[in-house]
Homo-oligomer: A and B are copies of this chain.
Amino acid sequence: MIVVLKPHATDAHIESVLAVATALKLKAHLSKGVERTVIGILGVSADKETLMAQFAQLEHVEHVVPISRSYKLVSKEARPESTIVRLANGATFGGSEVTVCAGPCSVESREQVMETAAGVAASGARVLRGGAFKPRTSPYAFQGLKLEGLKLLREAADAHGLAVVTEVLDVRDVADVAQYADMLQIGARNMQNFTLLQEVGNIHKPVLLKRGISATIEEWLMAAEYIVVAGNHEVVLCERGIRSYDPMTRNVLDLSAIPLVKSLTHLPVVVDPSHGTGARLLVAPMALAGVAAGADGLLIEVHPNPAVALSDGPQSLTLPLFADLMQKLGRVAEAVGRTV
């Protein structure tokens, strides 16, 4: 890290910084400029946050600039080659395939999930998505079918050769979800639920880690680091839109996060244009754009009859719209050297 002193800092102020470095067994490297003195601190290992804070609050320190990244295991430096995450049915994230996960926002009934699974499999999806435990802003909104929903997802997926990805909300449900799902989703609201991250780090199933509603790229990678450091290396990152100031869309889908994150980490990155936009009209263009930007997969909400969906109807594709999108995705994927 680099400690930047205020203009007019005296030798005594410089000494106080050097003394803290010495006390912490760190090397310091002094550089006096015309306006300001800066002091490089070398040898920082694990707890960068704490150390930065200890320097930052010294008198006449203007600010402290981190140099090394806080994430280690998920960084491209730690592992230059891309991680390929493989699900039980053979679908992969991180290779040349663009893997499409599709299904309803919420599992509502056996009929709904069976019809959806059949339809999305026929169009080329490899993974069935669907919520059994639902995080809802309102305590009065439908909270999901829970264990029954998990069983329905498993049954529907098995009938069509699909894998299952579904969200886990509570540390107490991790074992149940892991029993029925092939991939556990950590939702945007739980991206910094650190004890939940640790629990899914302890299991041996892939994890889909959604970006928090206003998470920075670095916070998102640190959340992945929590899972990997606990022992689970199979993490897939999912961009799902960030909060912005314009009420016209639910979120702003940050597609630049795809190439940016892929330059920083070896983990695969997928895109959720359904939550990322909140509007059916925008799902297909943003799905195509996501693949053009280099996404390793997509999460698409599909419902056989969105008009009666218990959640997220306005952003769900019908089965015919999904089939049409898959055709177009194939062409764009081919244009960028990938397959769907």
Give A residues with C-beta under 8 Å from B: 2, 4, 7-8, 20, 29, 31, 33-36, 38, 40, 42-43, 46-50, 53-54, 56-58, 65, 67-68, 70, 72, 77, 135-142, 169-172, 189-190, 192-195, 213-214, 216-219, 222, 225-226, 229-230, 242-249, 252-256, 258-260, 263, 276-277, 279-282, 285-286, 288-294, 306-314, 316, 328, 331-332, 334-336
Contact = CB atoms under 8 A, between A and B. Distances in A.
A259 B245 contact: no
A47 B169 contact: no
A217 B46 CA distance: 32
A280 to B, nearest CB: 7
A195 to B, nearest CB: 4
Contact of A137 (B57, B222, B334): B222
A136 B289 CA distance: 31
A42 B34 contact: yes
Contacts of A43: 33-34
A213 B214 contact: yes
Contact of A77 (B8, B31, B277, B334): B8
Q: Which of A169, A248, A289 neighbours the largest number of chain B CB atoms within 10 Å of its CB?
A: A289
A252 B249 contact: no
Nearest to A27: B33
A145 to B, nearest CB: 14
Nearest to A280: B57
A228 to B, nearest CB: 9
Nearest to A59: B307
Contacts of A218: 248
Contacts of A170: 171, 195
